[in-house]
Amino acid sequence: MDTTLSNFGNVFAFLALGIVFVAGGYLTARMLRPSRPNPAKNSTYECGEEAVGSAWVKFNIRFYVVALIFIIFDVEVVFLYPWATVFKHLGVFALVEALLFAAILILGLAYAWVKGDLDWVRPTPNIPTMPEMPSGKSASERG
Partner 1 sequence: MILTPMLHFSMPLLMGSTLNAWSEALAGFNPMGLPLGLVILAAIPLVFIALYSLTYGVYGERKISAFMQDRLGPMEVGKWGILQTIADILKLLQKEDIVPTSADKFLFVVGPGILFVGSFLAFAVLPFSSAFIGANLNVGLFYAIGIVALEVVGILAAGWGSNNKWSLYGAVRSVAQIVSYEIPAAIALLCGAMMAGTLDMQKITMLQSGSFGFAHFYLFHSPIAWLPFLIYFIASLAEVNRAPFDIPEAESELVAGYFTEYSGMKFAVIFLAEYGSMFMVSAIISIVFLGGWNSPLPSIGSFALNEWTSGPVWGVFWLIMKGFFFIFVQMWLRWTLPRLRVDQLMYLCWKVLTPFAFISFVLTAVWEIYVP
- Scan residues 27-86 and list those touching partner 1 (CB under 8 A): 28-30, 32-37, 39, 41-47, 51, 54-57, 59-60, 62-63, 66-67, 69-70, 73-74, 77, 80-81, 84-86
How many CB atoms within 10 Å of residue 112?
Answer: 17
- Provide the 10 A C-beta neighbour count for residue 94: 14
Q: How far is the CB of 29 from partner 1 (least distance, A)?
A: 3
- Residue 80 CB, nearest distance to partner 1 (Å)? 6
Restricting to residues 124-143, which ones interact with partner 1 according to CB under 8 A? none
- Residue 48: helix, strand or coil by DSSP? coil
Among 116, 120, 128, 141, binds partner 1 (CB under 8 A): 120
- Sequence length of the chain is 143
Task: State how far the Cα of 69 lies from the Cα of 63, in Å rounded to an integer.
Answer: 10
Nearer to partner 1 (CB atom), residue 36 or residue 137:
36
Q: Are 106 and 88 in contact (CB under 8 A)?
A: no
